[in-house]
Amino acid sequence: MAGVYIHIPFCKRACAYCDFHFSTNLKHKNALVTAIIKELDLRHTYLSDKNIDSIYFGGGTPSLLSVNELESIFERLSSYFSWNKSTEITLEANPDDITEEALSDWKKTGINRLSIGLQSFNDEELTWFNRAHTAKQSLASVSMAQDKGFDNITIDLIYGSKFQTLSSWEKTLQQAIDLNTQHISAYNLTIENKTALGVNYAKGKEPAVNEDLSSRQFLMLIQHLQRAEFVQYEISNFGKPNFFAKHNSNYWLQKNYLGLGASAHSFNGVSRQWNVKNNALYIKALNHNSTFFEREELLLQDRYNEYVLTRLRTIWGCDVKEIEKLFGKNLRDYFEKKAVNKQHDIKEYKGIFTLTELGKLRADGIAADLFI
């Protein structure tokens, strides 16, 4: 089944590490929601399957939307697509936006999964990240959501910052486990050029990420969450059984999805397209019925490379029978010849190739070695 992604590119403030598309100017928020609805009117036929198993509000900070704005998007979605109680409907939310009233409103709209951006339980680190919430709010937001009946919650964590040691990271992991959520995503801090962190790093005001320490923290992450009965179904994502993210999994399993909003991406199996990465231009284009996206037709080698890149990151791995079915016997032979030479990084069982624990430390590089 297919999925729909809605990008809400607004934030209260800019996180020091974030290079996603967003704006801290909220005055165009209502106009952008109107443009998203118009885009849906224009592009709903992009998905041939009208039954969807995932709706995802990402960003940015979708928890900044009013309940009326959310309801207007759901109302138009229901004109074109069908879903049921098993459909995963996710809203990304920051702890400081989570109140009892907001939780009740989200429940009423049909949202049944929350992705809460905690990032850290250290107030000094949160300030350095330029987050708007405190560690106390992090803990309270999860507890409040659980009390309101949300039983499918994922939290985000970041490791690798200058504030962390192995000991402090271990404490963070235990705090996260104790929250008793169904899913945890953990990402290694990266320094992107155009972010506040990247600018300060270029000026020599911030240290480089300690890759050796990050690698040790990553292995600790795997060990601790496995002991807590989380399954590492993708390199950065850990879910309890039956709580793997459908939205995320659709990406990695190459299922079709429609992306709505400025900078949103869409994929239909043979092509990929992405919307303009500018709120004003996106709104203007929709208002004037002009082009607001670019499109790329995927060649066979593109689709093969994407398959390897995404599937190798997951527990489902690269299946040589599937490779032959999708891309032909020559590419199956090519993949197997390359993969068998990486025995320290890749393991094979019944024709399915997955990364070893150490291989997960450099997944993208390993995948690149298998590309055409």
In a domain, 273, yes or no: no
Q: What is the CATH number of the domain that holds 307?
A: 1.10.10.920
User: For residue 82, what are the CA distances in angstroms to 59, 69, 309?
Assistant: 24, 20, 31
The pLDDT value recorded for residue 1 is 85
- For residues 28 and 136, state if they share a domain: yes
CB 299: neighbour CB atoms within 10 A? Answer: 11
The pLDDT value recorded for residue 35 is 98
Side chain identity at residue 168, one-letter code = S
In a domain, 71, yes or no: yes
- For residues 221 and 331, state if they share a domain: no
- For residues 169 and 232, state if they share a domain: yes
- For residues 239 and 307, state if they share a domain: no
In a domain, 275, yes or no: no
Q: Kindly report, residue by residue over 249-289, the tens digit of the pLDDT.
A: 999 999 999 999 999 999 999 999 999 999 999 999 999 99
- Name residues of the chain where pLDDT drops below 70: none
The pLDDT value recorded for residue 304 is 97
Sign of CA dihedral 33, 148, 175, 128: positive
The domain of 330 spans 300-369
The pLDDT value recorded for residue 343 is 83
- For residues 212 and 350, state if they share a domain: no
Could you tell me the two tokens for 127? 């300030």
The pLDDT value recorded for residue 21 is 87
Q: Kindly report, residue by residue over 349-370, the tens digit of the pLDDT.
A: 999 999 999 999 999 999 999 9
In a domain, 127, yes or no: yes
Which of 252, 271, 288 represents a domain boundary (last residue)?
252
Q: How far apart are CA 118 and CA 290, in angstroms?
A: 39
In a domain, 343, yes or no: yes
When divided into structural domains, the chain yields a total of: 2
Q: pTM for this structure?
A: 0.96
Q: How far apart are CA 227 and CA 76, in angstroms?
A: 43
The pLDDT value recorded for residue 20 is 86
Instruction: Identify which of 79, 68, 56, 62 has the alpha carbon closest to the alpha carbon of residue 5.
Output: 56
Q: How far apart are CA 313 and CA 90, in angstroms?
A: 22
In a domain, 292, yes or no: no
